[in-house]
Structures are given as C-alpha cells and as structure tokens.
Structure 1
C-alpha cells in the first residue's frame, strides 16, 4: 500500500448547498477531483508535465459512501492518497472530514485510467509518476 497522504482544505459556500440544505452530492466529486489535482501538482505532476508526456488521467469509476451531511460554512478537509497502481491505472482513495467535530462525512475511491492523449488509448504509467506518489520512493 502507498501511504503518501495529501490534505486539502475546503470551506463550504452557499453555491455548494442543494435544496435539502446540505452539500450537493456532485460537489463532493468536484472536491475529490480538485484534491487529486492539487496532490499531483504538489508531487511535481501538473498540467505542464503531463502535456510534455502527451498523457493524462481520466476517471473510469467513482464509488462514494456518504455518512454525514456537510453544511454551509463548514470547514472540511479532503484527505487523499493513491492506494495502488496497475499498468495503466491507479486507485485513489479519499476521506472527507469536518474539522469542527472530526466526523468522517464521506469515504470514496476513484479508479483513474492513464491515457495517451493523442491516441486516446490506455498508456503505461511511467515509473517516475509511481515513485512520486510513494512515501518512501521505493520502486514497485
């Protein structure tokens, strides 16, 4: 298991709230994607680096379990890490925490596919990307 964890802070704003008065389910997806991108940038893999390779990540599937609602003005933290890599994909996990009471509001995972952007087909994840997301830097 890879244990290089990233912490992404969120402040819930009025645009995040649905007709039931809590954060809309789709907003959680946006937050998770934002956290994944921020984590990648922190590891030295931003838009420019992926463009240089002519490869990038696309979502194959999401799985989310909503446990507690979030409300306007809540301060949240999205905790994310890459759980595992395969030849042309990775599984990224997430936990959404409310900072005021430390409740885990949601847990999730996303299966990301690594694609050749020109051919639009799966591409092998380069070892340098895998190494960037490992805590100890050891090759797998």
Structure 2
C-alpha cells in the first residue's frame, strides 16, 4: 500500500485499518492488549499475502515463517469507535533462516502511536516443524521489501 501522511517510524509501510469495536474492550475500559497482538498478526499475514506468499505457497514449498520472539510496547490506549491504522515493515532478512518485522499502530484522528511491535521470525519446514533454509521464493519476495537499517 502507499505511504500516508502519518508520522511513521519508517517509510512506505504496508498498512491495514482497524476500527475498535465493543468486543475489543477489556474490563479496564480500553482495547485489550491481546487485540493489538491479533491486529499485528492480521497485518503481518496480509502483508505476506500482498507479496504473493499465502497458505497455498507455504504448503507447496513445505515452508513457513513463524514467530520466534515477539516484543510489544503498549504506548497509549484505544477506545470503542477509534479508527486505527497498523503499519508493518520487514526490517531484516539474513537470506538463510531468519527475518524481522516491525509494527506501528496509530490512531487515525490524531496520528498518535498506540503500539510498537517487533517480531523475530524463523523459517520452518511445515511437515515437521523443524528449522530450514528459506526457499528462494521467500528470500526473493520477502527480501525485496526489507527496509534499510536506520542511519
């Protein structure tokens, strides 16, 4: 997707929009942290699909990228009716086994950052769950969109 006028941490994010619904609210009265994690999962998967790597490709290549480690910084709360936009980027690829993905969730009305996330991903063989070298299709499609490191 194209860049927006928001203050993104990196240029040209892949974006997905979310609207906070009543079912996203926890007993404290704001969006539950697990909802943010789910939105990261949704945006990351949509980005993969946009790059032409979905479940069918994963199955035919007997390969998948899975989360090895996830870190989230919950910065501000969101509430029912808030419209949010998630930006995601691939930020590293060792061209062998691992990649990294960054996330930034913004509230659309004021552009405030609500969450930042970081995943370390590892390539596995779907048939047995063991680590494996990335297929060339993964390296080519995912590797083509890795953002340059900050200066």
TM-score normalised according to structure 1 size: 0.90
CA distance in 2 between partners of 1:113 and 1:16 (Å): 29
- Which residue of structure 2 lines up, in the alignment, with residue 128 of structure 1? 137
> How far off is 1:57 after superposition?
1.9
- Does structure 1 conserve the Cα–Cα contact (< 8 Å) formed by 2:15 and 2:87? yes
In the TM superposition, structure 1's runs of 4+ consecutive aligned residues that sit over 4 Å from their partners are none
For 2:26 and 2:135, how far apart are their aligned partners in 1?
A: 40
Higher strand share: 1
Query: How far 1:40 moved relative to its partner?
Result: 0.4
- Give the alignment's Cα RMSD to 1 decimal: 1.7
Q: Cα deviation per residue 1:44-64 (whole Å; 9 max; x = unaligned)?
A: 001111111011122111111
Q: List gaps (5 residues or longer) in structure 1.
A: none
Q: How does 1:1-140 map to 2 (within 5 A)?
A: 5-86=13-94, 87-133=96-142, 134-135=144-145
2:65, 2:123 within 8 Å by CA — same for their partners in 1? yes
Q: 2:4 aligns to what?
A: none
Q: After TM superposition, give the deviation of residue 105 of structure 1 in Å.
A: 0.5
Compared with structure 1, are the counterparts of its residues 135 and 88 closer, same or farther at alpha carbon in structure 2 (3 Å cutoff)?
Answer: closer
What is the rounded CA distance, in whole Å, between the counterparts of 1:66 and 1:119 in structure 2? 34
Q: Partners of 2:81 and 2:40 in 1: how far apart?
A: 18
Q: How far off its partner does 1:72 sit?
A: 0.9
Deviation at 1:128, TM superposition (A): 2.5
